[in-house]
């Protein structure tokens, strides 16, 4: 238990035979229950999970303040019969944690990239009731992203920009960060079946959190990379997630700004999109006519004005969208979190 809340940690694993055992063993002692989900790994991951879990459960007999069907195990191994994706693994852990009566559920990947010593900082915004969902952010401070390769940084920055449109959390960054914590109330209210099972789960979940008007906190953390090899193929991944974010953006606008209550933001987004596309096409046409020696001055002026109108409309839409969602974003500084914890412990 941590600050009066029961804590569960979902450890996701796929081909993490070399790392998952250490991850399980280093989860802080204040965590009441650990749900280790093997997404049908073809390597020896499941055997490692069973062995380490059995040893921990034999050595500890915690008095857990959770409903667990008579089981008194700290580590709960879960295995998918077939590979279903990262999102499905997280969902399996979430569902079991809620069924067990856990208050706050964190997620740590089985690759050892998430420092267990800062788990309390990830939990703090949710435990304190300041946010419904908290996530790590490796891009907040320049020093924190020192271990991130240029390729990863560029891809992450691209997805961060697209995710701002999709999710409506305009001050958020590093949406791919899987070091997260969420309240059981948020899990129960979300329609998890509608969230993708694939690696775009983290981005898609943020959009669903926004539509349900849940508060999200970014917690600064350092990027950590070891000897593990990622199973993600980055170019197909970026392409897949980009299309997912486009669909999520349109769904968010339709749900929040049209169906639920009409908001002029959607009008400015539409005007901005049409203006930029139409202006760009017109500019290309003007350039072609100029190359042919035809008079395209008037058309060029018109196309430039169309682009300007589109740009202003889009900027207005973004400003209105950000203002509408301002109360859903929690600024959570590492130093504030540490000081608050010290005061509460004192």
pLDDT at 287: 72
Query: For residue 34, which phi and psi values (nearest 5 degrees)?
Result: -115, 125
Asked if 138 and 273 sit in the same domain, the reply is no
Residue 334 lies in a domain: no
Alpha helices in 60-200 (DSSP H): 86-99, 119-127, 150-167, 184-189
pLDDT at 91: 97
Asked if 251 and 273 sit in the same domain, the reply is no
Would you give the DSSP letter of residue 179?
A: -
Letter string b/e over residues 285-308, b meaning 16 or more CB atoms within 10 A of that residue's CB? ebeeeeeeeeebeebbebbeebbe
Asked if 86 and 48 sit in the same domain, the reply is yes
- Determine the Cα–Cα distance for residues 268 and 109; give it in Å rounded to an integer: 40
Instruction: Indicate the number of domains in the chain.
Output: 2
**Of 239, 256, 273, which residue constitutes the final position of a domain?**
256
- Determine the Cα–Cα distance for residues 116 and 27; give it in Å rounded to an integer: 6
Asked if 251 and 296 sit in the same domain, the reply is no
- Determine the Cα–Cα distance for residues 236 and 182; give it in Å rounded to an integer: 29
Asked if 129 and 236 sit in the same domain, the reply is yes
- Determine the Cα–Cα distance for residues 64 and 277; give it in Å rounded to an integer: 58
**Of 221, 256, 291, which residue constitutes the final position of a domain?**
256
Asked if 78 and 161 sit in the same domain, the reply is yes
- Determine the Cα–Cα distance for residues 262 and 254; give it in Å rounded to an integer: 9
pLDDT at 142: 60
State whether the Cα torsion 237-239-244-249 is positive or negative. positive
Asked if 138 and 284 sit in the same domain, the reply is no
Asked if 90 and 137 sit in the same domain, the reply is yes
CATH code of the domain covering residue 239: 3.90.550.10
Query: For residue 29, which phi and psi values (nearest 5 degrees)?
Result: -65, -20
Q: C-alpha 279: how far from its chain's center? A: 34
pLDDT at 216: 96
Asked if 15 and 113 sit in the same domain, the reply is yes
Q: Name every residue whose Cβ is closer than 8 Å to that of residue 55 and which is 6 or more positions away in sequence.
A: none
pLDDT at 338: 44
- Determine the Cα–Cα distance for residues 243 and 33; give it in Å rounded to an integer: 36
Residue 340 lies in a domain: no
Residue 160 lies in a domain: yes
Closest CA to 246 of 165, 160, 155, 156: 165
Q: What does pTM read for this prediction?
A: 0.85
Q: Listing from the earlier edge strand, what are the strands of the sheet with 7-13?
A: 75-79, 33-38, 7-13, 104-109, 180-183, 133-137, 216-220, 329-331
Asked if 176 and 115 sit in the same domain, the reply is yes
pLDDT at 335: 43
Residue 339 lies in a domain: no
pLDDT tens, N- to C-terminus, the chain (346 residues): 999 999 999 999 999 999 999 999 999 999 999 999 999 999 999 999 999 999 998 876 555 544 454 467 899 999 999 999 999 999 999 999 999 999 999 999 988 889 999 999 999 999 999 999 999 988 766 655 566 666 666 766 788 888 999 999 999 988 888 999 999 999 999 999 999 998 789 999 999 999 999 999 999 887 665 554 555 566 677 778 788 899 999 999 999 999 998 999 999 999 999 989 888 888 777 777 676 666 666 767 888 888 899 999 999 999 999 999 999 999 776 545 444 444 444 4
Residue 97 lies in a domain: yes
Report whether 132 contacts 183 (CB < 8 A): yes
Residue 343 lies in a domain: no
Domain region containing 126: 7-256
Asked if 154 and 276 sit in the same domain, the reply is no
> What would the pLDDT profile of 215-248 be if each residue is shown by its tens digit?
999 998 876 655 545 555 666 777 787 888 999 9
State whether the Cα torsion 51-53-59-61 is positive or negative. negative
Residue 330 lies in a domain: no
pLDDT at 103: 97
pLDDT at 222: 79
Asked if 40 and 177 sit in the same domain, the reply is yes
Residue 341 lies in a domain: no
């Amino acid at each position: 238990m941590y600050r009066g809340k029961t804590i569960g940690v979902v450890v996701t694993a796929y081909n993490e035979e070399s790392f998952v055992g250490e991850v399980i063993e280093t989860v802080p002692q204040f965590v009441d229950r650990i749900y280790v989900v093997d997404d049908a790994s073809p390597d020896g991951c499941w055997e490692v999970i069973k062995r380490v879990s059995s040893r921990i459960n034999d050595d500890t007999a915690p008095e857990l303040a959770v409903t667990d069907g008579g089981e008194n195990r700290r580590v709960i191994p879960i295995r998918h019969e077939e590979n279903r994706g990262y999102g499905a693994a997280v969902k399996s852990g979430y569902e079991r944690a809620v069924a067990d009566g856990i208050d706050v559920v964190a997620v740590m990947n089985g690759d050892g990239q998430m420092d267990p010593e800062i788990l309390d900082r990830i939990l703090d915004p949710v435990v304190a009731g300041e946010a419904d969902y908290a996530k790590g952010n490796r891009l907040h401070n320049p020093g924190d992203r020192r271990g991130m390769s240029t390729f990863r940084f560029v891809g992450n920055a691209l997805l961060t920009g697209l995710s701002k449109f999709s999710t409506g959390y305009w001050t958020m960054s590093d949406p791919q960060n899987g070091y997260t914590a969420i309240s059981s109330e948020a899990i129960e209210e979300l329609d998890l079946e509608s969230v993708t099972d694939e690696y775009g789960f983290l981005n898609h979940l943020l959009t669903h959190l926004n539509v349900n008007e849940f508060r999200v906190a970014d917690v600064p953390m350092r990027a950590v990379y070891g000897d593990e090899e990622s199973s993600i193929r980055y170019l197909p991944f970026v392409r897949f997630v980009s299309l997912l974010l486009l669909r999520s953006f349109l769904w968010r606008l339709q749900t929040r700004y049209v169906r639920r209550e009409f908001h002029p933001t959607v009008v400015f987004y539409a005007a901005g999109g049409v203006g930029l596309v139409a202006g760009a096409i017109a500019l290309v046409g003007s350039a072609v006519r100029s190359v042919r020696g035809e008079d395209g001055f008037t058309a060029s002026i018109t196309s430039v004005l169309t682009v300007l109108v589109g740009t202003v409309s889009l900027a207005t839409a973004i400003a209105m969208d950000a203002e509408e969602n301002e109360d859903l974003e929690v600024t959570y500084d590492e130093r504030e979190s540490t000081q608050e914890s010290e005061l509460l412990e004192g």
